[in-house]
């Protein structure tokens, strides 16, 4: 990693535009929201960064120059310690024979489907994904309403049979507001 800190000059200079620098746009937006940021120029923004983020302490606008600066080269830090992730053991019982797996849909962490009307209109409702083998053993078909329960609660969902689900597990999307899991 080169550790280069550099200025970001305008990519295009057009004398006919009234476009402001990014820091000015953010400063104006903050003012409209009630904040009173003390910046007069880019130097002021960098100065606050050097105060707020210790690794940039001592860095100055002038030191950056036109080519930037390799920063923090003189400091030695210990290497990060990596540990192997421990996989929790899914415990099945007669009362709860399936392991629940949760995950997002279409890279959504909850905002796209929950807060966007267009996505809510095309999104499916709360579902539980289940393997074809498990669906056969439970005598359920696609869209069958079922209750998924655990020691922590229960949820009404519709079955979605999928070859992608391993037998012995069920999958519920965690990003849908109608299925509060995860």
**In a domain? residue 132:** yes
Q: DSSP class of residue 108?
A: B
pLDDT tens-digit series, residues 23-44 = 899 999 999 999 999 889 999 9
pLDDT tens-digit series, residues 62-91 = 998 888 888 775 565 666 777 777 766 656
The average confidence (pLDDT) of the chain is 81
The alpha helices in 40-151, defined as continuous H runs, are 42-52, 61-64, 111-115, 117-122, 132-138
Please give the Cα distance from 126 to 130 (Å, whole number). 13
**In a domain? residue 56:** yes
Q: Residue 128 belongs to what domain range?
A: 99-173
**In a domain? residue 28:** yes
**In a domain? residue 4:** no
Of the pLDDT bands very low, low, confident and very high (cuts 50, 70, 90), residue 111 is low
When pLDDT is averaged across residues 111-126 and rounded to a whole number, the result is 62
Which residue's entry shows tokens 């209109």?
121
């Amino acid at each position: 990693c080169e550790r280069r800190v550099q200025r970001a000059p305008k990519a295009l200079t057009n004398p006919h535009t009234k476009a402001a620098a990014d820091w000015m746009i953010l400063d104006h937006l903050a003012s409209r929201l009630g904040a009173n940021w003390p910046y007069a120029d880019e130097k002021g923004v960098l100065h606050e960064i050097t105060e707020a983020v210790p690794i940039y302490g001592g860095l100055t606008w002038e030191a950056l120059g036109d080519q930037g600066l390799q920063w923090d080269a003189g400091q030695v830090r210990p290497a990060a310690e990596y540990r192997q992730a421990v996989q929790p053991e899914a415990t099945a019982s007669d009362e709860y024979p399936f392991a629940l797996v949760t995950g997002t849909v279409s890279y959504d962490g909850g905002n796209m489907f929950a807060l966007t009307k267009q996505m809510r209109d095309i999104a499916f409702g709360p579902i539980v994904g289940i393997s074809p083998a498990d669906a056969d053993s439970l005598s359920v078909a696609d869209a069958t309403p079922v209750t998924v329960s655990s020691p922590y609660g229960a949820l009404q969902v519709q079955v979605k049979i999928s070859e992608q689900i391993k037998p012995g597990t069920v999958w519920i999307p965690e990003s849908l507001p109608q299925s509060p899991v995860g």
